[in-house]
Amino acid sequence: MLDLSNKRILVTGGAGFLGRQVVEQLCQAGANLDKITTPRSRDCDLRVLENCQRAVEQQDIVVHLAAHVGGIGLNREKPAELFYDNLMMGAQLIHAAYQAGVEKFVCVGTICAYPKFTPVPFKEDDLWNGYPEETNAPYGIAKKALLVQLQSYRQQYGFNGIYLLPVNLYGPEDNFDPRSSHVIPALIRKVYEAQQRGDKQLPVWGDGSPTREFLYSTDAARGIVMATQKYDGDQPVNLGTNYEISIRNLVELICELMEFDGEIVWETDKPNGQPRRCLDTTRAKETFGFTAQMDFKQGLKNTIDWYRQHAA
């Protein structure tokens, strides 16, 4: 097991929703907060190679979380930006880390990398068996290319890079901006605002049939840190809960927890996204002992409570 106590650790995206949790979990696992660096994108644009080179200087471990990411709306509006930004950030950072002699690189990929029609639950071995769902393919493929890069750098240079595939995340401090948020924060905000206005109806995209799996941010961060300490393999590893819920049931549950009793109106002319999403989490359990702990209903409650406190 990797001893983190005197490692210098770079966490890209370390000030973000997941990043703050990862920094906290690193410290709980013995890392020294003074030796953790979390550059902000406004000061360190990782699309520029020189910035990547500066960022990895003197670092022992790099945890790459930084991403240009959002929900289905952003994916439709800015596919080119999502492809370019994520590919350039990742590819240059990996290359710079290899050149700087970084001991270990932890790359956090995305569930969007999986083919549109993947047998459920998704197994890591199915990653290449088809094209991703069209709306998030540019983002998914850019992130998936980084897996190939890490595997080839391991093969040619002996560079220790690992690749993790977390399912959709949620939790307090999530991104609730309606233009770029994912489904849970988007729905929580939508219900909250409907209640503020006294609306009797709640319009929701799609027909409610797709299924999703959600991982609480603290669980995801713990999984990433466990992999950093214990996993050195070349194969990608899913991080999830193995619990699948339909969007229809999710919307109903959020309405129940928030005590919204209006009518849900399904906007069936809007896209559904990928039909089903649920991960096989066997590999994470077997290789570094990770299983999710947060109960889904409790996690939703925590997220709703946080949003109500900070909505203003």
- Name the residues annotated as catalytic: 139
Rounded to the nearest 10 degrees, how much is the dihedral formed by the CA atoms of 201, 207, 208, 214? -110
Q: Would you say 182 is a known binding-site residue?
A: yes
Residue 78 CB contacts under 8 Å (≥ 6 apart), including other chains = none
Q: Would you say 214 is a known binding-site residue?
A: no
Q: Would you say 130 is a known binding-site residue?
A: no
Q: What is the distance between the alpha carbons of residues 108 and 147, in angstroms, rounded to a whole number? A: 10
Q: Would you say 90 is a known binding-site residue?
A: no
Q: Would you say 95 is a known binding-site residue?
A: no
Q: Would you say 7 is a known binding-site residue?
A: no
Q: What is the distance between the alpha carbons of residues 91 and 98, in angstroms, rounded to a whole number? A: 11
Token pair for 245: 């819920």
Amino acid code (one letter) for 150: L
Q: Would you say 190 is a known binding-site residue?
A: yes
- Widest CA span in the chain: 61
Q: Would you say 166 is a known binding-site residue?
A: yes
Chain position carrying tokens 């002996």:
158
Token pair for 178: 């309606």
Chain position carrying tokens 């902000």:
40
Q: Would you say 22 is a known binding-site residue?
A: no
Q: Would you say 206 is a known binding-site residue?
A: no
Q: Would you say 82 is a known binding-site residue?
A: no
Pairing of strands 211-212, 245-246: antiparallel
Q: Are 39 and 14 spatial neighbours (Cβ–Cβ below 8 Å)?
A: yes
Residue list for the binding site for NADP(+): 13-19, 143, 166-169, 182
Residue list for the binding site: 13-19, 143, 166-169, 182, 190, 205, 212
Residue list for the binding site for substrate: 190, 205, 212
